[in-house]
Amino acid sequence: MLRRRLNRLFGRDERRVDSRTIYVGHRPCPATDAFIPPKFCDNRIVSSKYTVWNFLPKNLFEQFRRIANFYFLIIFLVQVIVDTPTSPVTSGLPLFFVITVTAIKQGYEDWLRHKADNEVNKYLVTVLEDGRRARKESEKIKVGDVVEVVEDETFPCDLILLQSSREDETCFVTTASLDGESNHKTHYTVPDTEKGLESLSATVECEQPQPDLYKFVGRMHIYKNDQEPAVRSLGPENLLLKGATLKNTQKIYGVAVYSGMETKMALNYQGKSQKRSVVEKSINAFLLVYLCILVSKALVCTTLKYVWQSQPGQEEPWYNQKTQKEKDANLYLNMFTDFLSFMVLFNFIIPVSMYVTVEMQKFLGSFFISWDKDFFDPEIQEGALVNTSDLNEELGQVEYVFTDKTGTLTQNSMEFIECCIDGFQYKNRDSSTELDGFCVTDGPVSMLQQKAGREEEELFLRALCLCHTVQVKESTGQEDGVGDQVDGVLGLDGEMVHPAELRGFIASSPDEVALVKGAMKYGFTFLGMESKNMRVMNRDKDVETYELLHVLNFDPVRRRMSVIVRSKCGDIMLFCKGADSSIFPRVRQEEVDRIRMHVERNATEGYRTLCVAYKLLSSEEYAQADAGLREARLALDDREAKLMAVYNQVETGMSLIGATAVEDRLQEEAAETMEALQRAGMKVWVLTGDKMETAKSTCYACRLFQRGTELLELTVRTLEDGGRRREERLHEVLLDYHKRSVQDPPPVKTRVTRSWTSAKQDYGFIIDGATLSLLFNSSPDSSHYKSLFLQICQNCTTVLCCRMAPLQKAQIVNMVKNSKGSPITLSIGDGANDVSMILEAHIGIGIKGKEGRQAVRNSDYAIPKLKHLKKLLLGHGHLYYVRIAHLVQYFFYKNLCFILPQFLYQFFCGSSQQPLYDAAYLTMYNICFTSMPILAYSLLEQHICMEVLMSNATLYRDVAKNAMLRWSPFLYWTLLGVYQGLLFFFGVRFLFSNPALQDNGQVFGNWSYGTIVFTVLVFTVTLKLAMDTRHWTWINHFVIWGSLAFYMFFSFFWGGIIWPFLRQQRLYFVFANMLRSVSAWLVIILLVLLSLLPEILLLVLRKPRWPHSRQPSEDRLLQTSRSLPSRPCPTST
């Protein structure tokens, strides 16, 4: 406070202080001294990266910041500067192509952004200037301007709502373009801003811009004719965000507080951090190996060259004199340029085209996910959404799945099941047939034989009707209904608002609607709000009115919410509902015991339970609470904490009146999906904010816990058992569990046992938030505990973490992510509280559920339903992984056997950097001759049918742990490349021991040599891919045979013409002459066959790739279907 005052006195440095002061309408305020208009940024939105002037340099700079591009640039420059064996064109052309295409694409995107920016910046808005309305371009709005916005317009900047055309001083907005939530949200005008905006003299003091859409604190000083300035607190409910749209309100006036790039929307588009896939890491590792190979090759050749040259008569024989310049050059400089030349000659071993192909594969491949109609959900009319294409293959590598419970495993559509008033159970008849020994159902809306007193019943039902933030849907004309305040969050998980269109009730969380509807069944109907009065129709069809004094909002830490109302007769009551753990300590203990049993029983049945308590406030108590609340609401900093303190103070000494049970049904196929994931070797962790019993029952329902699963519990309850200090107990329990799960048991690890249902003991681990924070924060042994905990968890099939705060979810994910072996983690969730873990995990999956769009927005992939996860991982993920892994290995392989003959040739040409292949071949090899088949393969290959992959979850384990990109497969591919390279070169070398290969006795020269090697190479490499292709669509056929045909055609064409403007006609008729030689044909056939022989052999010796991991029944089915030589893929899932 003091600092701010000081700052205000000295300098007004708005940048450094943590609040800013805005003069509404730029009018100086009487209270302040000299009016110095503060400087804020203008309202221009600049989302474009480039301008016309800086596009070229900036874009080029950004492109060459990629290591690969930079490497190729260096190679190109070396070729330009140094006299190298291959012309700069060979590497310059592909690089130029890649750079140009990227630049054009980025330029186009930026142009679109410019267009969009302009549309926004030039948009005409109405601004009140000295009482007159003036049209201005949006970009000219200054902070402090009073802006008029009419219906269906977007807000041009962040505004504080001053005046609305609606009578209740609210306005409705939709933030669809901000967070995707299409419901209407209510925003409130600042109280007491007079109707006459022209003469309003006020200052707004608010925090500096920050990106959190749902947070805003500020206050407004309103100066009225020399009166003491009135101070009003400002919250998010007063702030209209740029990008949101005004709905159902004719027009509003607001004062601009944040403008341009400082608006919350602009601050939110800073982009999330780039996630990189493991495959990319593997590529980089392989690249390093190849770089080493490249450098050592160049070194060997340079050394050889100078050794060879040192022999008499070799360096400069009479027939091959150097130029004067070459003679004069410094020896060491020569060595260096020779080294560079060799680097250039062999640089094709690291192909620029691989990057292009990988990017293309990822980009195009991701379309298959969004195209998949199995992901289409008719309910929301949407399919899957791919936000990043970088992680496709990562989907096939998942080891840990972190799932949210509410909305993800369960449907989050709530149904009121029963309630318990004063220890007596009330249940709907239709929802249950089983009778509890101690309570009986009876009548659709009536009670059991043993009833609680009518008074208690009514009090309880009133509480249900009053303690909520539900709104009744307004009459016609509003398709979506009215949501609630932005921060009016309620829901046991702290999940965000969304509309639930049930019987016209709109609420932030479905629980609330379920409760209100539940109360309705028992005769108490909530009729809605009338200004500040809540109207409730009681059983006698009388309308009771209660004045709503305060709403003590829900938050996930308190896990409860309260309302303070004043009844007609003047009684001030506080109703509170919340999780049992947060209510029980705040009520009288004797009441707890009566209800606890019900609550726990309900929880084990998988219901969500809430306890309801109430308290009668005396007027003094209320006055005190009211003052506290008002003060806290006005606080500028730490408002949350202060509010919390007041809330906690008010919500004490209540009396418990009952509990409710609400059923949250499981998602479709939730159990099957979870089972499949587990069978695929993934470990499923459930991270939920829900209470343990509920979560546990959900786990049982999802078959995550099986009957035989031994549960290891580490919760506050287990820790309190011993009656000792928690830390000691924690230590003890941890060691005990560790012994049981890690040291003692499994002689066989999960990875080894294919039969996952075997007799091996399954362990499930349960931990709650409090214990977890104890675990993480208990100072000295924290890391030791953590590793113990991790080890236990890693040996459990399922881990359940309940009562998690969003941040703790991320903590858990982070811990697993960074554990030994850095396993690939996947988080799936649907609500705002899952965003942190979605962002933290390697792959974040959002469910397009009922809880808004935040999870979807922050996710890498979004799917409509949980059941789609199975196909996404087991089907798409597996295939993408296999595809890209093969792509990468193949690329390295094909370039190794491309360059190896070139290297070997150096031993036969005096290490003179003479290229074996013609420049055209060098350039085209990666671009044209061999690029398309692998691209087609990497997009279309299904080595196993999608259906088989999905029905045999265990197949997923075959590619687990980056199986196809580890060092041993890499070594295999490399050896294959070396073998083939050697074969190509020496096969032709022996043929050329007599270069008279034609039947007319004429001889072949060095270009024929290169062309034969190259032909063998192209055919081998393409046929190798053909052999690996298990799924031949017409595209594969077209591309593979087309590539070979194109090679033939190109070679004829290239050698068939005397090319004008070229001084060298090296290949003139070389190819055609080669084809005239029977020996050349024979050697090509021989070498192609011989180089593929080991591959064929391996194919035969290795039993058909996967069957051992299949279940026998399916195995047989598969074998029979596979024994037919060709068959179309079954077309049903």
Partner 1 sequence: MMASSYNAKEEDRHQPGATGHVGSGTMTNKMPDNTAFKQQRLPAWQPILTAGTVLPAFFVIGLLFIPIGVGLFVTSNNIKEFEIDYTGVDMSSPCYSCSQSYSWNNTKSCTCSVPFSLDQPFESNVFMYYGLSNFYQNHRRYVKSRDDSQLNGDKTSLQSPSKECEPYRSSDKPIAPCGAIANSLFNDTLELYYIDPNGSRTAIPLVKKGIAWWTDKHVKFRNPSGNNNLTVVFQGTSKPVNWRKPVFELDPSDSDNNGFINEDFIVWMRTAALPTFRKLYRIIQKKPNNMTPTLPRGEYILEVTYNYPVRSFDGRKRMILSAISWMGGKNPFLGIAYITVGSVCFCLGLVLLSIHYRYGKRNSADISS
CB of 725 to partner 1, least distance (A): 50
Assign residue 26 a region: left if phi > 0, alpha if psi is -120 to 50, beta otherwise? left
993 binds partner 1 (CB under 8 A): yes
Q: Using CB under 8 A, which of the segments 53-61, 532-540, 811-819, 1004-1012 binds partner 1?
A: 1004-1012
Q: Using CB under 8 A, which of the segments 177-185, 204-212, 407-415, 643-651 binds partner 1?
A: 177-185
Identity of the amino acid at 313: G
Q: Using CB under 8 A, which of the segments 379-387, 441-449, 557-565, 762-770 binds partner 1?
A: 379-387
Please write down the HEC assignment for all residues of 595-646: HHHHHHHHHHCCEEEEEEEEEEECHHHHHHHHHHHHHHHHCCCCHHHHHHHH
Residues 248 and 183: their CA atoms lie apart, in Å, by 12
1113 binds partner 1 (CB under 8 A): no
868 vs 407, 853, 875, 960, CA distance in Å? 14, 18, 10, 20
Q: Using CB under 8 A, which of the segments 382-390, 628-636, 664-672, 746-754 binds partner 1?
A: 382-390
Considering Cα of 650, then 651, then 654, then 659, what sign does the dihedral take? positive
CB of 917 to partner 1, least distance (A): 12
What is the DSSP-derived secondary structure letter of residue 322?
Answer: P
Q: Which is nearer to partner 1, 120 or 965 (CB)?
A: 120
What is the DSSP-derived secondary structure letter of residue 153?
Answer: P
Q: Which is nearer to partner 1, 162 or 178 (CB)?
A: 178
- How many other C-beta atoms can be found within 10 angstroms of the C-beta atom of residue 459? 21
Assign residue 155 a region: left if phi > 0, alpha if psi is -120 to 50, beta otherwise? beta
Bridge partners of residue 534, in order along the sequence = 529, 546
Q: Is 541 annotated as a binding residue?
A: no
Q: Is 834 annotated as a binding residue?
A: yes
Member of 36, 81, 116, 616 binding partner 1 (CB under 8 A): 116
Member of 1041, 1053, 1093, 1108 binding partner 1 (CB under 8 A): 1093
- Active site residue: 404, 480, 768, 860, which one? 404
Task: Please give the helix or strand (H or E) that residue 936 lies within, else none.
Answer: helix 931-940
317 binds partner 1 (CB under 8 A): yes
How many alpha carbons fall within 13 Å on the CB side of residue 993? 4
Q: Which residues between 597 and 636 bind partner 1 (CB under 8 A)?
A: none
Q: Which is nearer to partner 1, 390 or 415 (CB)?
A: 390
| Contacts for 267 with CB less than 8 Å, ≥ 6 apart | 209, 210, 211, 261
Member of 1, 130, 196, 318 binding partner 1 (CB under 8 A): 318
How many alpha carbons fall within 13 Å on the CB side of residue 623? 3
Q: Which is nearer to partner 1, 366 or 441 (CB)?
A: 366
Q: Which is nearer to partner 1, 622 or 984 (CB)?
A: 984
Q: Which residues between 70 and 89 bind partner 1 (CB under 8 A)?
A: 85
209 binds partner 1 (CB under 8 A): no
Concatenated DSSP letters of 686-735: EE-SS-HHHHHHHHHHTTSS-TTPEEEEESHHHHHHT-S-HHHHHHHHHH
Q: Using CB under 8 A, which of the segments 569-577, 594-602, 757-765, 1023-1031 binds partner 1?
A: 1023-1031
Q: Is 689 annotated as a binding residue?
A: yes
1090 vs 65, 165, 984, CA distance in Å? 43, 84, 10
Q: Which of helix, strand or coil describes residue 798?
A: strand
996 binds partner 1 (CB under 8 A): yes
Which residue reads 């045909």 in tokens? 1045
Q: Is 511 annotated as a binding residue?
A: no
CB of 982 to partner 1, least distance (A): 14
Member of 90, 170, 259, 366 binding partner 1 (CB under 8 A): 366
Tokens standing for 781? Answer: 């042994």
178 binds partner 1 (CB under 8 A): yes
Member of 910, 951, 979, 1075 binding partner 1 (CB under 8 A): 910
1127 binds partner 1 (CB under 8 A): yes
107 binds partner 1 (CB under 8 A): no
CB of 532 to partner 1, least distance (A): 33
Q: Which is nearer to partner 1, 278 or 719 (CB)?
A: 278
CB of 1083 to partner 1, least distance (A): 6
Q: Which residues between 860 and 879 bind partner 1 (CB under 8 A)?
A: none
Q: Using CB under 8 A, which of the segments 287-295, 310-318, 666-674, 691-699 binds partner 1?
A: 310-318
Q: Which residues between 132 and 171 bind partner 1 (CB under 8 A)?
A: 154
| Contacts for 577 with CB less than 8 Å, ≥ 6 apart | 463, 464, 467, 515, 560, 561, 562, 583, 610, 611, 612, 613, 660
Q: Using CB under 8 A, which of the segments 374-382, 493-501, 738-746, 956-964 binds partner 1?
A: 374-382
What is the DSSP-derived secondary structure letter of residue 277?
Answer: -
Cβ-contact 854, 871 below 8 angstroms = no
CB of 815 to partner 1, least distance (A): 28
Site size toward partner 1 (CB under 8 A) is 149
Residues 556 and 849: their CA atoms lie apart, in Å, by 20
CB of 841 to partner 1, least distance (A): 18
Give the contact letters, 930-969, x = binds to partner 1 (CB under 8 A), - = no: ----------x-x---x-----------------------
Q: Which residues between 227 and 286 bind partner 1 (CB under 8 A)?
A: 242-243, 245, 265-266, 269, 271
Give the contact letters, 719-748, x = binds to partner 1 (CB under 8 A), - = no: ------------------------------
Tokens standing for 301? Answer: 């050749």
Member of 64, 188, 1050, 1069 binding partner 1 (CB under 8 A): 1069
Cβ-contact 162, 255 below 8 angstroms = yes
Cβ-contact 502, 568 below 8 angstroms = no
Q: Which is nearer to partner 1, 233 or 259 (CB)?
A: 259
Considering Cα of 896, then 901, then 906, then 912, what sign does the dihedral take? negative
93 binds partner 1 (CB under 8 A): no
CB of 384 to partner 1, least distance (A): 7
How many alpha carbons fall within 13 Å on the CB side of residue 95? 24
Give the contact letters, 43-62, x = binds to partner 1 (CB under 8 A), - = no: --x-x---------------
Q: Which is nearer to partner 1, 360 or 666 (CB)?
A: 360
1064 binds partner 1 (CB under 8 A): yes
Q: Between vectors from CA 591 to CA 588 and to CA 593, what angle results, nearest 5°?
A: 115
Q: Is 744 in the active site? A: no
Q: Is 850 annotated as a binding residue?
A: no
Residues 197 and 190: their CA atoms lie apart, in Å, by 12
Q: Is 18 annotated as a binding residue?
A: no
431 binds partner 1 (CB under 8 A): no
Give the contact letters, 180-199, x = binds to partner 1 (CB under 8 A), - = no: x-x-----------------
Tokens standing for 505? Answer: 């009730």
Which residue reads 């279940």 in tokens? 1111
Binding site, annotated residues for Mg(2+): 404, 406, 830, 834
Positions annotated as catalytic residues are 404
